[in-house]
Amino acid sequence: MEYAELNNGIKMPMQGFGVFQIPDFEQCRQAVSDALSVGYRLIDTASVYGNEKAVGCAIRESGISREDLFITTKAWISEMGYEQTLKAFEASLEQLGLDYLDLYLIHMPFGDYYGAWRAMEELYSTGCVRAIGVCNFEPDRLIDLCHNAKVIPAVNQVEIHPYIQQPEAIRIMHDFGVKPEAWGPLAEGKDRLFYNSVLSAIGNKYGKSVAQVILRWHLQRGIIAIPKSVHKKRMEENFAVYDFRLTEEDMALISALATDYNRILDLHAPSEVERLYQIECKN
């Protein structure tokens, strides 16, 4: 396991397990249980996923010491605002069955996220959460928040994968001491990513799968990644990326795969923003 040091000095695993789109209680509980048995210690959920209770159940059943785990959840658009975010935090803690969070994130850069950030700063100052951060904040919004916040976000979780590599956004995060974290690190397999000839050829050199090559690429770029799967064998494969290293040539070949448009979420599209506002939080 490799760790990232956040801007407040705490250590965060460089690879975690995401539970997006696993709303069924039993399926999510089993998936998290399997991930923990494989060796994952970072679990990433969100109030809007509707599976915090299942995540909490798996954590309790695992028998793993709480201090050995790194648990992240997020506040949704409808939970933005000072009072709303404080209530959302308590609801998430109750759903998870935890006394504190390791990382609490603003899920989307919409609504009263400045009021939400004040609430998160308060939660952080009282020790209810070990670190606070944001998701999907593009450079302009991240810069603005950093210039107006008392506490600089520790993490910005954004779409990063071989097709969307975000070099400028990552440079700005580094300038402010914000750690980049990739959601959708395998691009959800879009555009036949797992059959890409460049990635396949690199994988063949090391006896590794395309997914393993991509996750190793994230690690070597200093990016935290949270792949998701409900299949234990796939979890084991995704976790087995610490016994090889990509060359500079490999990294350059992967860099050349970048395109200039988001594959999964386009926050500049009015229709997409409208769609997000229609999603109800499950807490």
- Ligand-binding annotation for 268, yes or no, is no
Least Cα distance to 200 among 209, 192, 190 occurs for 209
If DSSP codes are grouped into helix, strand and coil, which group holds residue 176?
helix
CA angle 39, 105, 181 (to 5 degrees): 55
Residues in the chain: 283
The Cα diameter of the chain in Å comes to: 54
Phi/psi for 56 (5° steps) reads -60, -40
Instruction: Answer yes or no: are the C-beta atoms of 222 and 15 closer than 8 Å.
Output: no
Name the amino acid, one letter, at 256. A
DSSP assignment letter at 48: G
Q: Among this protein's residues, is 40 annotated catalytic?
A: no
CA distance to 56, 131, 185, 254, per residue, from 210 (Å): 31, 32, 12, 11
Spot the catalytic one: 3, 40, 49, 100: 49
Report d(CA 55, CA 278) in Å as an integer: 25
Annotation: binding site for substrate: 107
Annotation: binding site: 107
Active site residues: 49
